[in-house]
Amino acid sequence: MPDTLVLHPRDNVAVVTRRAEAGEDPLGVGRPLDRGLSAGHKLARLPVTKGDPVFKFGQVIGAATAAIVPGEHVHTHNCAFSDHDRGYDIGAEMAAAEAAVPGMEPAQFMGYQRADGRVGTRNFLALCATVNCSATVINRAADELTREGAFEAFSNIDGIAAFAHGTGCGMAATGRGADILERVLWGYATHPNVGAAVFVGLGCEVMQIARFQARHGAAAPGQVHALTIQETGGTRATIDAIKARVRAILPEVNAVRRTPCPVSALTVGLQCGGSDGLSGITANPALGAASDLIVGQGGSVILSETPEIYGAEGLLLGRTDPQTADRLLACLRWWEDYTAANGGTMDNNPSPGNKQGGITTILEKSLGAVAKAGATPLRGFYDYAARVDRPGLVFMDTPGYDPVSVTGQIAGGAQIVVFTTGRGSAFGSKPAPTLKLATGDRLFAEMRDDMDIGCGDIVSRGTEIPAKGREIYDAIVRVASGEVTKSEALGLGAQEFVPWQIGAVM
C-alpha cells in the first residue's frame, strides 16, 4: 500500500492512505508532519500560493487561505470554501454516459410480487401514525404484538414496523410541507415491502386519513386499513383495536410467497453518512460501479442529499437532458435561498466528523458523494418522497441528513438502501433494509456488527473498483432475496423514520 495517492494529474494534493504519525514524511519531501494524521487527510504535493485553488479529483475543492508548501497538511486551517465553476455544459457527456450502461444478461432475485406490479424484498405489516398524537398507540400495539409472538406462526412475514413522527398537526393543511408528509405516509403504507398497513389518527388532526384516500385513490384490496383514537374509544381501546385488526389480516399477508422476479424491478437508494477522506476513493466509487450494474439490468437507483452534491452538480448536468437539468438547477437555487433564510450557508456541511476524517469543504465532500451515482445518464428529477417510476439513475431532492433523506427514498419506492460510511454509522431502515459499506479497513474491523462490506481493500490491497462494485451488486441481489443485513440483525430501523418537515409549526 502506498503512503499517499494522487487521484488526478491536475491535483496539487495527495491523500494519505494510512495513519501517519508525527515526525513521518509520507511524501518524502523533507517536511515531517507536526502531528499525526488519519487516512483520508491531504498533503500538498506542490506549492500553493495564498488565494490559489486547491485541486483534488482534478476539481477545485477550495482556495488556499495561506501559502502552502509541499508536504504540508492541507485542511481547514489553510483551505476554505470558494465558489465553483458554473459554466455547465448540459448534455455534453450524454453519449459517453449512454455507452457506460453495461449490457447484461437479465438476472433474477426471489421477491414478493405485488398486485400493482411492483416487487417487494421484504413483507412487513406497517402501522402509520397520521399525527404525533397517535405515535404512542402504534408503538405500543407493535411492541405488544411482537412480545406476544403474534408473527411466529407466519413464516412469510418479516414483522411489524411502527412509523411514528413528530408532526401531522399544527401545520398548514396545504402547501409543500403538507404534500411531503402525505406522500411519505402514503408511500410507506403502499410500499412494495409492505403487505398491509393500518393508518391510525387521533381524529381531529390536520393530516386526515380521508385526505389520503381522496387524493391517491384506492390501494390494492386489503392493503390499507384505518381507524382513529377518538372514534375507537381512547388509548387502550385503540391499542386493542389495532392488535385485533393486525391479527385478522395476518393470514392474508402471509399468503404471499417469494418467487423469481427480475432485478429490473429493484429500486435502490444511494446514501453516504459519516463520510471521510476515503469515501470518494473507495466505497462511493465502488457503489457507483454497482449502481451501473443495477441500471444495466433495467433497475433504478436514486441519488439524493441535495446539499451534498453542491459544487459537483456539473458532473451530473453533463449527462442529462435540459428538462432534468433545469429542475436540478432550480432545486439548488432553492437550497441556497433556504439555507440563507435560516442563517446558514451551503458550506455549513461538512460536519465536524467529516472534517476529522479529512474532508475540508462541501466541494470536496460533494465530488466524492456524486461518485455513488456511477457513470450512466441521469434520467430524471423527483421531488422529495415522490414515487420513482422510471428506470435508470434518477435524482431525488432531499436534505443531507441521513434519516430524512432515506425516508424520502423509501417513500419513493426504494426496496433497498446502500449506505457508505467512513466514520462509522449505526443506521438502519424499515421496511427497506440498509446494506452498509465501510470506506476503510480499520472501520470494517472495529464495527463488524454494523458493516456489511469493507471497501478499504481498494487502497490496502489494490482491489479494482469494478470488482468491488460486482461484490456490492451481488450482495444487493442476495439481500433482495432475503439475506439479513447487519442493521436488520441489530433491529435498527424503527426510529429512523423522519419525514422532512418544511413550514411553520403553528
Which CATH number do you get for residue 223?
3.40.1400
Residue type, 349: N
Same-domain status, 398 and 299: yes
Strands 79-80 and 224-228: unpaired
228-257: pLDDT as tens digits? 999 999 999 999 999 999 999 999 999 999
C-alpha distances (whole Å) from 438 to each of 103, 275, 423 are 28, 10, 8
Domains in the chain, number:
2
Range of lowest pLDDT (208-212, 390-394, 415-419) = 208-212
Residue 37 in any domain: the answer is no
Q: Say whether both 284 and 417 belong to one domain.
A: yes
Task: Give yes or no for residue 350 having a pLDDT over 90.
Answer: no
Q: Is residue 305 part of a domain?
A: yes
- The position carrying cell 460533494 is 366
Question: Does 234 map to a domain?
Answer: yes
Look at phi and psi of residue 408 and say left if phi exceeds 0, alpha if psi is from -120 to 50, else beta. alpha
Domain assignment present for 145: yes
Distance of alpha carbon 302 from alpha carbon 484, whole angstroms? 22
**306, 233: one domain:** no
Q: Using 50, 70 and 90 to split pLDDT, how confident is the model at 1?
A: low
**Do 190 and 289 belong to one domain?**
no
Q: Are residues 322 and 419 in the same domain?
A: yes
Helix intervals (H) in 297-401: 313-317, 322-341, 352-356, 362-369
> What torsion do the CA atoms of 408, 483, 105, 92 make, to the nearest 10 degrees?
30
Q: Could you list the residue range(s) of the whole structural domain that residue 234 is in? A: 124-255
Average pLDDT over residues 180-198: 97
**What per-residue confidence (pLDDT) applies to 222?**
82
The 10s digit of each residue's pLDDT in 446-491 is: 999 999 999 999 999 999 999 999 999 999 999 999 999 999 999 9
Q: Residue 401 CB: number of other CB atoms within 10 A?
A: 16
392 inside domain: yes
Residue 20 has pLDDT above 90, yes or no: yes
Q: Judge if 454 and 420 occupy the same domain.
A: yes
Per the rule left: phi > 0, alpha: psi between -120 and 50, beta: everything else, 209 is alpha
User: What sign for the dihedral angle of Cα 474, 475, 476, 482?
Assistant: positive
Instruction: Give residue 345's pLDDT.
Output: 82
d(CA 57, CA 444): 25
Kindly indicate the confidence band of residue 215, based on its pLDDT and cuts at 50, 70 and 90: confident
Q: What is the mean pLDDT of residues 201-229?
A: 87
Mean pLDDT of the chain: 95
* 469 and 322 co-located in one domain: yes
pLDDT tens digits for range 137-175: 999 999 999 999 999 999 999 999 999 999 999 999 999
**pLDDT for the residue numbered 214:** 80
Residue 88 within any structural domain of the chain: no
Same domain, 245 and 287: no
Domain membership flag for residue 58 = no
Is it the case that residue 351 has pLDDT exceeding 90? no
Which stretch of DSSP H or E encloses residue 110? strand 108-113
Q: Give this prediction's pTM.
A: 0.96
Q: Residues 324-339: what's their mean pLDDT?
A: 96
- Residue 89 predicted with pLDDT over 90: yes
Q: What is the pLDDT of residue 289?
A: 98
Report percent pLDDT > 90 for the chain. Answer: 92
Residue 178 has pLDDT above 90, yes or no: yes
Note the pLDDT tens digit of each residue in 421-453.
999 999 999 999 999 999 999 999 999 999 999
Both 162 and 235 in one domain: the answer is yes
Q: Mark whether 192 and 128 lie in a shared domain.
A: yes
For residue 260, being part of any structural domain is answered with no
Residues 186 and 290 in one domain: no
Task: Please indicate, yes or no, whether residues 242 and 283 belong to a single structural domain of this protein.
Answer: no
